[in-house]
């Protein structure tokens, strides 16, 4: 049995936005961090370098979570770093605003492949390593959902909202499936958070525009989402599983 100090957190999409801050906070809590990226190698390498500069250990690995071989390679890299005890299924995409009547099959397949299938594949690899039933030492998985799962995204991104609805069901189901194998599974459901995801969805000013409509009258920050994610990974959340925690300023 290896010591606790070689615990590895795998963070998909760990180079930018919420995933970047999760990676940095996890390293600060003593995790070695295996962070994935798909397009922005520079950002991911920068996060890994910042962790190393602070005395931690991290590796940045190119991994399109929709590609099974990439996911297998990501976890192989994590194995070289230490013992995987945490996974944050953070990688996610939105698309340009469109009604369902205009959504192509290619758009729908990309959305579900990235946001849903990618999370399943990463969780599969994590459970295989963590399960106490197969000799692992347990662990925690946190999925990034969205309050869009209950709001629905009408007229703009019903596909994205549905992908996050799937993440909610996945969270509850997997949590119950592996609850007696030493693995906790939870989700964080952010509201409007100020990251680059809105620009990638064709609405770069979305956080500023929608902030005043939030009960707390502002958009949230990546730090305000990453902190509860890292808390859910910690022993402080030892009896929390199957939970979906809104981090949405009351929306």
Q: Which is nearer to ligand NAP, 116 or 140 (CB)?
A: 116
Q: Which tokens belong to 51?
A: 């962790």
How many residues in the chain? 251
Given 8, 15, 229, 233, the residue binding ligand NAP (CB under 6 A): 15
Tell me if 219 sits within 8 A of 211, measured CB to CB: yes
The alpha carbon dihedral of 44, 143, 115, 8 has a sign of: positive
Residue 129 touches ligand NAP, criterion: CB under 6 A: no
Closest separation between CB of residue 100 and ligand NAP, Å? 19
Q: Which residues are catalytic?
A: 160
Least gap, CB of 153 to ligand NAP (angstroms): 11
CB of 91 to ligand NAP, least distance (A): 3
3-class SS of residue 128: helix
Contacts of 177 (CB under 8 A, 6+ apart): none
Query: H or E stretch including 154?
Result: none
Residues binding ligand NAP: what is the number (CB under 6 A)? 31
136 binds ligand NAP (CB under 6 A): no
Selected from 9, 34, 37, 161, the binder of ligand NAP by CB under 6 A is 37
Question: Over the Cα atoms of the chain, what is R_g?
Answer: 17
Enumerate the H helices of 86-157 as residue ranges. 105-112, 118-130, 148-151
Q: Is 91 near ligand NAP (CB under 6 A)?
A: yes
User: Rule CB under 6 A: which of 49-88 touch ligand NAP?
Assistant: 63-66
Angle of CA points 23, 24, 28, to nearest 5°: 115
Q: Give the shortest CB-246-to-ligand NAP separation in angstroms.
A: 10
Q: Return residues touching ligand NAP (CB under 6 A).
A: 12-13, 15-19, 36-40, 43, 63-66, 90-93, 114, 144, 146, 190, 192-193, 195-197, 200
């Amino acid at each position: 049995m290896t010591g606790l100090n070689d615990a590895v957190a795998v963070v998909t999409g760990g180079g930018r936005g919420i995933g970047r801050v999760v990676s940095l906070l996890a390293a600060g809590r003593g995790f070695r961090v295996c962070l994935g990226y798909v397009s922005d190698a520079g950002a991911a390498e920068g996060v890994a370098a910042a962790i190393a500069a602070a005395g931690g250990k991290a590796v940045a690995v190119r991994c399109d979570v929709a590609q099974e071989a990439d996911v297998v390679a990501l976890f192989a890299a994590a194995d070289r770093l230490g013992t995987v005890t945490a996974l944050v299924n953070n990688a996610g995409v939105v698309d340009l605003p469109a009604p369902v009547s205009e959504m192509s099959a290619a758009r729908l397949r990309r959305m579900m492949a990235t946001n849903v299938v990618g999370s399943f594949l990463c969780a599969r690899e994590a459970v295989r390593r963590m399960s106490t039933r197969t000799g692992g030492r347990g662990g925690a998985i946190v999925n990034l959902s969205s309050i869009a799962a209950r709001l629905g995204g009408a007229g703009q991104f019903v596909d994205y909202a549905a992908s996050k609805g799937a993440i909610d069901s996945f969270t509850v189901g997997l949590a119950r499936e592996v609850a007696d194998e030493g693995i906790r599974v939870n989700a964080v459901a952010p509201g409007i958070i100020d990251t680059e995801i809105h620009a990638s969805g064709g609405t770069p000013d979305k956080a500023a525009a929608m902030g005043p409509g939030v009960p707390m009258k502002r958009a949230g920050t990546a730090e305000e989402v990453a902190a509860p994610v890292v808390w859910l990974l910690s022993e402080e959340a030892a009896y929390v599983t199957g939970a979906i925690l809104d981090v949405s300023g009351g929306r």
